[in-house]
Structure 1
Amino acid sequence: MKKNVMVLVFLCAIFFSAKAQEISNNAIGVRISEGFSGVAPEISYQKKVRTNKRLELNLKLQNSINDLEFVGLYEWVWNIKNNFNWYAGPGIGFRDFSRFPIFLTGVIGVEYNFTSPLLLSIDYRPETNRSNLLNANLGFSLKYQF
């Protein structure tokens, strides 16, 4: 009996560690980031494209409907250790309030994949601003994976 319990614990440990190295098919949540007008929340959605690649879509509303920002990112995800991953990739965005509404962006970040369906991450996303100079955008995310 004791041997069976040890085997069961071992198999569960393998299952959970193997799952931590995969990215989920979908994740939705909130990203809190700095913007042109200060801190602003974003609705964030991630969709798995391949084994270690995903598409991320973010929608930010800063002050009013005129300050709408939409960003699409293509990300590569690599496992660091256990439940930690890092990710990076290029992107493109659209700002409703800008003279040049389309801008280029990218992302680099680190995430922690809990054994529950929660995903916590911090990332850096440089964006071209209204003057086509780089704007630093640091964000924290909490997402639900399904």
Structure 2
Amino acid sequence: MKKIALTLSLVLGALLTMNAQEISKNAIGLRLGGGDGFGAEVSYQRALGNNNNRLELDLGWRNDKHFDAFKLAGLYQWVWNIEGGFNWYAGAGAGIGSVDDNRVYRDDFHHDDGAFLFVAGNIGIEYNFDIPLLVSLDFRPEIGFSDYDVIDDFAPDIAIGVRYQF
């Protein structure tokens, strides 16, 4: 038991003392990709408190052959430096959106249009260039909640982000 406690305290101490690269105070750009159809999001990041935490807000649009949707996501992220300009990050958050069902039905009573809520996790890697450019690749699993079949499920979202830092 003492060995486990010692190992856990060493690992926790190492995680808490990791040297994080200073992240930009603000970054704005695009996040392109998707899990439930391709789409684009306008993405804004704001550094919080100490320099390794930030808030990310994304306003986006998604579509596929049957549905159109827009959504607003808010995520709290922790950022750790790998080496040089490479960082990795993880976070959690939630959002709200609206979906439009474009499928053609024999009657008009089955459309799954309306608002929805979702919770999301986030993990990714980014490169901070010497110029004010930040490029990222991330995975955002989302779980939607609504009365509509189209949003009531798990949606893995993979995207590439390009942001201007200021």
TM range (shorter): 0.7 to 0.9
Q: CA deviation at 1:99?
A: 5.4
Q: CA deviation at 1:30?
A: 0.3
- How far, CA to CA, are the matches of 1:114 and 1:49 in structure 2? 21
Larger radius of gyration: 2
Return the letter of the residue paired with 2:72: F
CA contact (8 A) 1:35 1:62 kept: no
98-107 or 51-60: which moved more? 98-107
| Higher percent of residues as helix | 1
Establish whether residue 145 from structure 1 lines up as the match of residue 145 from structure 2: no
Establish whether residue 54 from structure 1 lines up as the match of residue 74 from structure 2: no
Q: Which runs of 5+ in 2 are unaligned?
A: 1-19, 100-112, 145-150
Total equivalences in the alignment: 123
Q: CA deviation at 1:39?
A: 1.2
Equivalent of 2:155, from 125, 135, 146? Answer: 135
Q: CA deviation at 1:62?
A: 2.5
Q: Counterpart in 2 of 1:82?
A: 84
- How far, CA to CA, are the matches of 2:78 and 2:46 in structure 1? 12
- How far, CA to CA, are the matches of 1:102 and 1:112 in structure 2? 31
For residues 1-80 of structure 1, the aligned pairs below 5 Å read 21-36=21-36, 38-50=37-49, 51-63=51-63, 67-80=69-82
TM-score w.r.t. the length of structure 1 is 0.79
Q: Counterpart in 1 of 2:11?
A: none
Return the letter of the residue paired with 1:140: I
The Cα RMSD (Å) is 1.7
Q: CA deviation at 1:92?
A: 0.2
TM-score w.r.t. the length of structure 2 is 0.70
- How far, CA to CA, are the matches of 1:53 and 1:109 in structure 2? 14
Q: Which runs of 4+ in 1 moved over 6 A?
A: none
Q: Which runs of 5+ in 1 are unaligned?
A: 1-19
Q: CA deviation at 1:136?
A: 0.6
Return the letter of the residue paired with 1:58: D
